[in-house]
Structure 1
Amino acid sequence: MKTQVQKLAAGRDNLHTPPAGVDQKVAEQTAPQTIGMASRALAWPALLRKLDRIDDSFRR
């Protein structure tokens, strides 16, 4: 809210309005199932590689 008030104080000519549909795209990208998918696809393999470098005995 504070940022919005500060932006409006700068004048409406200085405001940038994102294109239509941006809000929906952001909502889709940050949906819980999307975040979970990203974590499984990216974070977990990276953590396993890190563990392998530190000590691969966890795989036995």
Structure 2
Amino acid sequence: MPPLSWSPGRAAATNAAPTVLPRLYATVVGAAALLTLAATALPGRLALRVRPMEAATFRQ
């Protein structure tokens, strides 16, 4: 059984970054970008949509 003590030299020699496949990384980043676009663009588009006849006959 390995010792349970921490060694700074041993920790510095190991790589802390996980290995991720490039295709999986690109899929996750692309999905996040699409969700961000949908969450910001769609509500804004729906909120700013005005029917042309209402806009033409609107009085202040």
TM-score class, shorter-chain normalisation, is 0.3 to 0.5
TM-score by length of 2: 0.37
Structure of larger gyration radius: 2
Q: Which has the higher contact order (CA 8 A, sep 6+)?
A: 1
TM-score by length of 1: 0.37
Q: Which has the higher helix share?
A: 1
